[in-house]
Amino acid sequence: MNYPELLPHLSSCKSPHQMFGAILKTYYAKKEGIDPKKIYVVSVMPCIAKKFERSRPEMKEEELFDVDNVITTRELSRMIKQANIEFDKLEDSKFDDPMREATGAAAIFGVSGGVMEAALRTAQDTLTGKNLEKINFEQVRGGEGIKRATVNIAGKDIKVVAASGLANAKKILEEIKSGKSDYQFVEIMACPGGCIMGGGQPIKSSKIRSEVDVRKLRADCLYSIDEKSTIRKSHENPFLKQVYAEYLEKPGSHLAHELLHTHYQKRNKYNLKF
């Protein structure tokens, strides 16, 4: 709506939960012998905007939406309390982990700079042809609203910037629009600090926020999950490899593009039409 001239630079990848829904209703449904029409996908998200995203017409495959409903983490926590659910007494279900174990790279998607760091881990292995052990990109971590860095991969300097918060996003977009930047990789998150501070997250009182840095605690938690993960690179996830081998063929294939990618177009900010 605000920078339609920059649309060609946008990644065409759907957001993770939309990809998840698309794979559940195709690959997983076929493998388990389930009619996709009988699968109802609910995403639990830190982001209120996902409620709108899931209803976009571009998020449909053969008349079925990738995701059928979205609730926030705050809404789920209220439901759990209202229903008096005790998790330690719940029985395991075969549907508990349809996509099996996630990687550490997936965990840090929720913090500003995390999507970029996950992608850089894969980029450096791909460009060097090696399984590199140094995978922490400290340059794009931290609470700053704008993080600029130059990362050297396979002898090439790659200029990157990670911005969080719409005011900072505007600064970077204006910079790009004016031709004053030469970034090869840009990450933008709408919420300050990233998804960890999304509009659907639990709300902390001003007293708590004056005593502790909620944003840092949440970010540290995700980085801790990453550090403790057995697999920390997206492209090394064995289940992901299996999905491509058995169904999607290869990254960028026609089917992969059909299920995992989307497109954008200029919108009228005063009269939205879809």
Instruction: Give the pLDDT score at 93.
Output: 87
pLDDT in tens, 164-216: 999 999 999 999 999 988 999 999 999 999 999 999 999 999 999 999 999 99
CATH class of the domain comprising 1-101+256-267? alpha beta
* Stretch 7-31: mean pLDDT: 95
* pLDDT category of residue 101 using cuts at 50, 70 and 90: confident
50-59, 81-90, 93-102, 172-181: least confidently modelled range: 93-102
- Where does CATH 3.40.50.1780 sit in the chain? 1-101+256-267
What is 102-236's CATH number? 3.40.950.10
- For 169-189, give one letter per residue: b (16+ CB within 10 A) or e: beebbebbeeeeeeeebbbbb
Helical ranges in 83-233 per DSSP H: 104-107, 114-128, 166-177, 206-211, 214-228
Instruction: Give the pLDDT score at 273.
Output: 55
* pLDDT category of residue 268 using cuts at 50, 70 and 90: confident
Instruction: Give the pLDDT score at 98.
Output: 87
- Where does CATH 3.40.950.10 sit in the chain? 102-236
Distance between CA atoms of 266 and 170, rounded to whole angstroms? 17
Residue 251 has pLDDT above 60, yes or no: yes
Q: Which residue has the higher pLDDT, 18 or 269?
A: 18
Instruction: Give the pLDDT score at 272.
Output: 59
* pLDDT category of residue 39 using cuts at 50, 70 and 90: very high
Distance between CA atoms of 98 and 95, rounded to whole angstroms? 6
Instruction: Give the pLDDT score at 100.
Output: 83
Distance between CA atoms of 259 and 13, rounded to whole angstroms? 10
Task: Report the 10 Å Cβ neighbour count for 202.
Answer: 12
Instruction: Give the pLDDT score at 205.
Output: 94
Q: Which residues contact 199 (CB under 8 A, 6 or more apart)?
A: 46, 47, 48, 49, 72, 191
Instruction: Give the pLDDT score at 270.
Output: 64
